[in-house]
Amino acid sequence: MKAIIRASAAIVIISAVLFYAVHLLENSTATSGSGSISVYNWGEYIDPELISQFEEETGIQVVYETFDSNESMMTKIEQGGTSYDVAMPSEYAIEKMKENDLLLPIDHSKIPNLENIDPYFLDLSFDPGNEYSIPYFWGTVGIAYNPTLLEGQTFESWDDLWNPTLEQEVILVDSAREVIGMGLNSLGYSLNSTDLGELREATDKLKTLGPNVKAIIGDEIVEMMRREEAAVAVTWSGQAADMMWINEDIDYSVPEEGSNLWFDNMIIPSTAGNVDGAHKFINFMLDAEVAAQNADYVGYSSPNAEGIKLMDPEVTGDERFYPTEEMRDRLEVYENLGLEMLGVYNELFLEFKMDMEK
């Protein structure tokens, strides 16, 4: 009899535990669906205080993750293991994500702050009508350099990187499009070239740059330049601004042969679990004061015309980081070259890196 009673009691306890676990799971699911969003962004690409401000104003908690390349971001979203609600890819990645049905259309009626964006940055070729993407930051690829370590040398041309006096002084950003594109531009070719002969020529020329290359790295490039462990870096304009904020000796230029004009936009992946929360986050980031604070913190150029009015005129008037429309017209935007051609760029970049290890 006692055994029967003990067995019955155990069943009651187990049932109670299972009921409680199901109750917790249901609550957790409800929270992740309406009370939180997952934001997937580049490293050091938002003022953390703004995440807290968004959470306080909306009651929506933000789960924040970072990526280091468009390719890794797209792969993770395509695999669908994590349900991201907002991400910030570059223009050519947005085109590719559209082709692969990885994006949800954006409801502009839920983003009234879209009116703050400079019309120059709207309705661009990679997303006509901004059906799937909203401007976040923009900038250029150029050369950050420290004249005090280089006896006053400047960099008006990509070919200046090949100066023999720069042995082990040049850092390159670890990205195939930027480095192969720099090689193409140095030869007068388009950085969107799909001509295999031009790409071979650019790669062979890059190999001759090897003796001057100190490292090919990611975000660490900023610290190395700040600490004067290298004198020159091919990098993005925002990283250059970050270096210059700490080390005033550093300068930045966009070579005369041309370079990349890039745009990073906010998108909502097709796997998003909280679409309404995603719209609220995008609209929040487009608020003029929020955009100005974010641009001050991150260092990249803001497309937010109303936000720019609130920023230091010395910053927004600096044509190295806010080039005029005429200057921008001389630069090229990356095109989506297709999976096969991107594979060619990656293979050539790997070939260049392996050649440096010889």
Residue ranges for the known binding site are: 44, 92
Pairing of the two strands 86-87 and 232-236: unpaired
CA distance 109 to 115: 11
Q: Which of 95, 100, 77 is CA-nearest to residue 87?
A: 77
Q: Give the list of residues 6+ apart from residue 146 with CB closer than 8 angstroms, or none.
A: 225, 228, 231, 232, 247, 249, 250, 251
Q: Which two tokens stand for residue 190?
A: 């388009």
Q: Which two tokens stand for residue 227?
A: 């600490």
Half-sphere exposure of 114 toward its Cβ, with a 13 Å CA cutoff? 19
Q: Which residues are annotated as a binding site for spermidine?
A: 44, 92
CA distance 240 to 196: 32
Polymer length in residues for the chain: 358
Q: Which two tokens stand for residue 348?
A: 């050539």
CA distance 258 to 188: 8
Q: Which two tokens stand for residue 28?
A: 């957790």
Q: Give the list of residues 6+ apart from residue 17 with CB closer than 8 angstroms, or none.
A: none
Q: Which of 266, 351, 344, 342 is CA-nearest to residue 71?
A: 342
Fill in the DSSP letter of residue 104: P
Beta carbons within 10 angstroms of residue 196's beta carbon: 11
